[in-house]
Amino acid sequence: MTNMDKNIGIYIHIPFCKGKCAYCNFYSLPGRDKQMPDYLEALVTHIKESESQLAEYYADTVYFGGGTPLCFGADRLVKVFDALKKYGRVLMNGEVTVEVNPESTTYEDLVKLRRAGFNRLSIGAQSANDDILKTIGRRHNFSQVTRTVKKARDAGFENISLDLIYGLPSQSMDDWSDTLRKILALKPEHLSCYGLKLEEGTPLYSYRNSIIMPDDDTQADMYLYTVDTLEQAGYRQYEISNFSKPGFESKHYLKYWQGKEYMGFGPAAHSYVGGRRYGYISDLNTYINNILNGGPVVDQYEDISRTEMASEYIMLGMRTTRGISPEEYKRISSYGFERGLELLESYRDEGWAVEENGRWRFTPAGFLLSNVLIGQLLDAQMKRRVELGTPWRKDEYATDYYYGIIDSQVDHAQLFNGI
Ligand code: SF4
């Protein structure tokens, strides 16, 4: 079987930011403007060198994330996208997303991006409360969010997502409800709502004892309120933290959660191709130097076994409202799902899971406990403990923190085919 008829998602990491937000643990670097020309050259070189690998696929999603991609400049983003179109096969009707921040987005840039073929924006709004935005080190206010959405519509973007965070310092339920109300008035097609996770090493973590944080119960209430409010406003929840108008689910995100293939470029970017997962070194200088001078850039690499695939099927599938089916699990793992099924039935009795047409998924109450429940499911099936993060909080991708034992190699595309 060749890969010629397969689709793939492309992720481009742009690690530049104007400043560092107080809660951020992404690989992002302020004050590196001088390295941007070299980084552009490195990215284009890397894409060109990947031509033969890219030629095996159609890219149906492209995602420019960061960092703050527009800090790199719209012209450079367009050049990188042009390189992808030149050395890869990007589908005309593909989903092409770029993350933008309200303080650094001009109408002119948006027009350039739209003309080049970018068709989806993910705007980092986070909150409608200017005081809270300041506390968490954001460099914009809510009126800039409103103006960015207007500029995006004027530039021709018909698919806009807004990122929000709840459980922020001194945030009350009323404040969160006010944020949701103001955000809904902007009529985005998609919303990502993450619970704040205090990450060690971030400024917010270091002064956590001197700020008032909503307690776990309040955060849980905020989550349940979000699910309910967005549903009433016509947004369908399709993943723990993601909601969209019908037909506007992020096709790129879905690749991560449905075990589909994706290829990343840039420092700290991850790929999952041909049953292998690998990540590039989280160091901009090394990435640029080694790409331009023929040195190594991969620093994590693993073949994903059939056993791991089965675990990931549970772990990723249960993040989504599509859920999992025992038949699909059996097809991937080649062994039974009896113990998992018993547990799911007990979750149903508790109101944490539902079964519909042979598929199991969590209820909102189940999503709140999903880190524990998924761990139990994996234990039951795999008889080994897997340490999960807190999936309903802001984790990048669940796949980042699960590594297991390698057994036989399998054709992943075939196993996941049709799921
Ligand atoms: S949260 Fe986003 S904008 Fe803020 S520092 Fe991190 S990557 Fe940059």
Identify which of 105, 106, 151 has the alpha carbon closest to the alpha carbon of residue 124.
105
Instruction: Give the distance (Å) from ligand 1 centre to CA of residue 65.
Output: 10
* pLDDT of 406 above 50: no
Does the pLDDT of residue 279 top 50, yes or no? yes
Residue 98, phi then psi, degrees to nearest 5: -135, 135
Pair 29, 17: CB distance under 8 Å: yes
**Strands 242-244 and 236-239: what pairing?**
antiparallel
Question: Taking 90 as the threshold, does the pLDDT of residue 158 lie above it?
Answer: yes
Distance CA 261, CA 277 (A): 10
In this structure, what are the phi and psi dihedrals at residue 59, rounded to the nearest 5 degrees?
-85, 110
Q: Are the beta carbons of 272 and 261 closer than 8 angstroms?
A: yes
Please tell me the predicted confidence (pLDDT) of residue 296. 95
Q: Are 188 and 161 in contact (CB under 8 A)?
A: yes
CA–CA dist 81, 136 (Å, integer): 32
pLDDT per position as a tens digit, 316-371:
999 999 999 999 999 988 878 888 999 999 999 999 999 999 999 999 999 999 99
Q: Domain spanning 305-416: which CATH class is it, in words? A: mainly alpha
- Residue with CA nearest ligand 1 atom 1: 24
Nearest CA to ligand 1 atom 4: 21
The answer to whether residues 318 and 337 touch, using CB atoms and an 8 Å cutoff, is: no
140 C-alpha to ligand 1 centroid (Å): 12
Element spanning 99, H or E? strand 90-100
- How many Å from the N-terminal Cα to the C-terminal Cα in the chain? 18
**Residue 129, token pair as written in the block:** 């409360």
pLDDT of residue 407: 29
Kindly give the number of the ligand 1 atom that is closest to the alpha carbon of 25. Answer: 6
Dihedral (CA of 68, 70, 71, 73) sign: positive
Nearest-atom index, ligand 1, CA of 24: 6
Residue at token pair 């530049």: 16
Residue length, the chain?
419
Tokens for 416?
Answer: 């996941």
Nearest CA to ligand 1 atom 6: 24
**193 CA to centre of ligand 1 in angstroms:** 16
Are β-strands 16-17 and 190-195 bridged in parallel, bridged antiparallel, or unpaired? unpaired
Q: Report domain extents, the chain.
A: 6-257, 305-416
Q: Token digits for 193?
A: 């709502």
Q: What angle do CA 263, 12, 150 make, to 5 degrees?
A: 130
Taking alpha carbons only, the member of 221, 241, 227 closest to residue 173 is 221
What tens digit of pLDDT does each residue of 65-87 get?
Answer: 999 999 999 999 999 999 999 99
Of 155, 91, 92, nearest to 123 by C-alpha is: 155
Pocket around ligand 1 at a 6 A CB cut-off: 17, 20-21, 24, 26, 28, 66-68, 101, 124
| CA nearest to 100, candidates 42, 169, 151, 165 | 151
- Whether 24 shows a pLDDT value over 60: the answer reads yes
- The three-point CA angle 13-203-104 to 5° equals 45
pLDDT of residue 4: 55
Amino acid identity of residue 5, one-letter, is: D
Confidence of residue 413 (pLDDT cuts 50, 70, 90): very low
> Which residues face 136 on adjacent strands?
none
- 331 against 186, higher pLDDT: 186
**Could you tell me the two tokens for 277?**
């997962």
CB 272 within 8 A of CB 18: no
Return the CATH superfamily for domain 6-257: Aldolase class I (3.20.20.70)
CA 17 – ligand 1 centroid, Å = 6
Q: How far apart are CA 351 and CA 39, in angstroms?
A: 50
Exposed (0-12), middle (13-18) or buried (19+): which is 273, by Cβ within 10 Å? Answer: middle
